[in-house]
Amino acid sequence: MNNLLNIKTPAESIAQIRKADYNLSNQGVINLRLAYWNLTTEALVEEAVFRNEGSVVAGGAFDANTGKHTARSANDKFVVRHTDSENNIWWGVYNRPFSGDKFEVMVDRMLGFLQGRDVFVQDVYGGADEAYRLPVRIVTELAWHSHFVRNMFILPQSLEEYKRFVPEFTIIAMPSFKGAPAVDSTVSDTFICLSFEKKLAIIGNTAYAGEIKKSVFTILNYLLPLEGVLSMHCSANVNPDNADDVALFFGLSGTGKTTLSADPTRRLIGDDEHGWSDNGIFNLEGGCYAKCIGLSEAAEPEIYATTKRFGTILENVPFDPITRMIDLDDDSLTENTRASYPLEFIANAMPEKKAGHPKNVILLTCDASGVMPPIARLTPNQALYQFISGYTS
């Protein structure tokens, strides 16, 4: 928000209380109007409503409309090509190379754009295993994006921990900042651009919060294998009576990872992103980002209950402006409606967010070609083959 009139906002008086000693100025972010550091969920909801970023709906959830982008923009994602990292990256349609010089120019323009504005800062961790967790600083233009970050990642536990926080990576997300394809060599005026050498990711012209989440996963997906840890796009749960009875559920978005992992008879480790080290499985996140189109209380009671709870963020879910009742069957904005909530909103979630090695690995697919029966038990070699082949249709 560009607060040209210097209007006092709800959290302005406490904005600097949880400010880290390692300041934004250490990262070249200067001349802001005000940075709001590590605000609580309650304060961020107040700020978001004050700034007209969305609405509080029946039950207490915050509902935001992400505008033009209601899903990730895969064609607008780039990785800076550099001699230190280029041999570790599989370049192609999903990992598009970007010039380091162009990245520097774009960062400078974004830093100029930030001057005189308000930003929200959250210092968080990616990774529940302390041996592998990554300190990340996420700077956002929108208060509800800062709330999203608090929902989705692992938080410091004390004022002292906030004060001495030093990020290894920084992400800056500015939906109202547009790229200039003629100058920046981007595909469009939307961009998600990451430099492993600068330890910086910048996101512009998209308010879809999933870009922030996936940027952290992209970073960990690069770093963890270099430490001998497998990074995985999967959900995970565990037998409450046996920490070594872990199940993993791999699958594309919408195939059922979140639903199956929220089994009330098992403990939830996480619904989307995990690492597998010599010690076992650990969640890379602190929350869930569930698809909620067609969600029903009868079929998915645990996830459905989160949509009626303060602290949950709903993305692009239509609601009645009079009654504030949401309509989870309405896909008029997008089929990719989402709910973001802390993992502890699921009653059987594991606070530790980690467990032993998996006993069962399940690949969720949509087989339109009849390659295998509806349920197929594979040998380890068959499972490896199908996984590496990216089996789906």
Please say whether the beta carbons of 209 and 65 come within 8 A: no
Classified by CATH at the fold level, domain 12-49+70-226 comes out as: Phosphoenolpyruvate Carboxykinase; domain 1 (3.40.449)
Alpha-carbon distance of 174 to 169, in angstroms, equals 17
pLDDT tens, position by position, 91-145: 988 889 999 999 999 999 999 999 999 999 999 999 999 999 999 999 999 999 9
Please say whether the beta carbons of 103 and 198 come within 8 A: yes
Burial of 184 (0-12, 13-18, 19+ CB in 10 A): buried
Amino acid 164: pLDDT: 97
Alpha-carbon distance of 38 to 35, in angstroms, equals 10
Question: Would you write out the chain's pLDDT as a tens digit for each of its 393 residues?
Answer: 666 667 899 999 999 999 999 999 988 899 999 999 999 999 999 999 999 999 999 999 999 999 999 999 999 999 999 988 888 998 988 889 999 999 999 999 999 999 999 999 999 999 999 999 999 999 999 999 999 999 999 999 999 999 999 999 999 999 999 999 998 889 999 999 999 999 999 999 999 999 999 999 999 999 999 999 999 999 999 999 998 899 999 988 778 898 889 888 999 999 999 999 999 999 999 999 999 999 999 999 999 999 999 999 999 999 999 999 999 999 999 999 999 999 999 999 999 999 999 999 998 887 777 778 888 899 989 888 887 887 766
DSSP secondary structure, 140-156, as one string: ESSHHHHHHHHHHSBPP
Alpha-carbon distance of 95 to 74, in angstroms, equals 9
- Name the E strands within the chain: 34-37, 55-56, 62-64, 77-80, 96-98, 118-126, 134-140, 169-174, 191-195, 200-204, 230-239, 242-251, 267-270, 273-277, 280-283, 287-291, 313-315, 338-342, 354-355, 358-364
Amino acid 311: pLDDT: 98
Closest alpha carbon to 150 in 287, 18, 290, 23: 287
Instruction: Name the amino acid, one letter, at 338.
Output: R
Which DSSP state fits 14?
Answer: G
Amino acid 187: pLDDT: 92
**Domain 230-389 has what CATH class?**
alpha beta
Q: Calculate ∠ Cα 140-116-62, nearest 5°.
A: 35
Amino acid 1: pLDDT: 63
DSSP H helices in 185-341: 210-226, 257-261, 301-306
Domain segments of the chain as ranges: 12-49+70-226, 230-389
Alpha-carbon distance of 50 to 352, in angstroms, equals 35
Amino acid 332: pLDDT: 96
Amino acid 393: pLDDT: 60
Catalytic residues, by residue number, are: 72, 214, 233, 253, 257-258, 272, 338
Closest alpha carbon to 262 in 271, 253, 254: 271
